[in-house]
Amino acid sequence: MDNKKNRAVVQVPGTSANCGPGFDCLGLATTIYNYLDLTLLHANKVVVEAAGEGAENIPRGKRNLTWQAVQRLLQEVGRETDFKGAIIRTRNNVPISRGLGSSSTAIVGGLVAANEILGAPLTRQELLKLATELEGHPDNVAPALFGGFTVSVMDKGAVQTFSFQPRIKLKLIVAVPDFELSTRLARKVLPKNISMKDAIFNVSRASMLIAALVEGREDLLPLAFDDALHQPYRKKLVPGMTEVFEAAKAAGALGAAISGAGSCLIAFTTTRSGLEEKISSAMVEEFKAHGVKSKALILNVDKRGAKVIKKGAESK
């Protein structure tokens, strides 16, 4: 196989996990994208060229996360002796370590691009299994692969995902603070046990959230984004969290939550409300009042998930 056939370019959406009450199980894909241009090589070398968000910190060589995903897929389909290296070119728009699924885009991009080059030996469901194994949780990789809103269930190490397009046209307002937050640290602050009361709080809201989105019941959403399992413990890691949520709601948002493990905060409105600018200014201002510099992203829900945008052309 020559270089012409060994290349694929993919677009992968950033994601927002948890969506308030759905800790480690709910997620949605957003309209901010990372791009991966992958060429598989017979030679035993990994070349990484990165541009955009966090470019200078992306690991080069075989420590690169996209390479690790590619290598995992090659092993899975028994092609690891055919392709021992790769050229990985990335152009990233998703902020790093902010709770917008940047590591998922690296994993999902590598899996989807390599699978495409090899003639699609694995289904998306099979790619989800590998991606979850690499990421450790399904809630970012699932929407990155399938698009829309996703509900994922882990059962004895296996993952089952339901992906759907909400009947409410959501507009997402993301306040991106100027500090990173590692998922590891954000998980370390969580308690080992929770009360029955808090479990009921979350089960009821997560269920209401899905029902409202599936049935198009915007009136039920203001009840549905709150959480008692992780945000109360993480608020010390994101200065002004509660007040930014309140400011977003006072400006008309239907609800607000930490995006993934943070540090971004995400508020929800509808595309027809026309409130996105007002909500984003309120969130940025409130962060500022707590000494945090931030910028706002106004996004929609991505419907498609990871997408191959070019295939087979010669890599330059």
Binding site for ligand HSE (CB under 6 A): 17-18, 23-24, 137, 139-140, 183, 186-187, 230, 260-261
In angstroms, what is the minimal distance from the CB of 11 to ligand HSE?
21
Q: Which is nearer to ligand HSE, 6 or 102 (CB)?
A: 102
The CB-nearest residue to ligand HSE is: 261
Nearer to ligand HSE by C-beta: 175 or 282?
175
5 vs 187, which CB is nearer to ligand HSE? 187
Q: CB 285: neighbour CB atoms within 10 A? A: 14
Task: Give yes or no for a contact between 260 and 101, defined as CB atoms under 8 angstroms apart.
Answer: yes
* Residue number with CB closer to ligand HSE (89 or 98): 98
Least distance in angstroms from the C-beta of 229 to ligand HSE: 9
User: Is residue 86 helix, strand or coil?
Assistant: strand
307-311 and 46-52 beta bridge pairing: unpaired
Shortest gap between Cβ of 242 and ligand HSE (angstroms)? 17
Q: Distance between CA 35 and CA 306 in Å, rounded?
A: 10
> Where do the H-state alpha helices sit in 118-227?
124-135, 138-146, 183-188, 196-215
Identify whether the C-beta of residue 148 lies closer than 8 Å to the C-beta of residue 164: yes
CB of 35 to ligand HSE, least distance (A): 22
Q: How far is the CB of 207 from ligand HSE (least distance, A)?
A: 18
Cβ distance to ligand HSE smaller for residue 186 or 251: 186
* The two three-digit tokens of residue 94, written as one number: 């998703």
Angle between helices 102-117 and 65-76 (to 10 degrees): 40
CB of 31 to ligand HSE, least distance (A): 20
Please give the Cα distance from 4 to 245 (Å, whole number).
50
Between CA 150 and CA 53 the distance in angstroms is: 26
In the bound state with ligand HSE, the residue whose beta carbon lies nearer, of 34 and 183, is: 183
Please, are residues 39 and 79 in contact by the beta-carbon 8 Å criterion? no
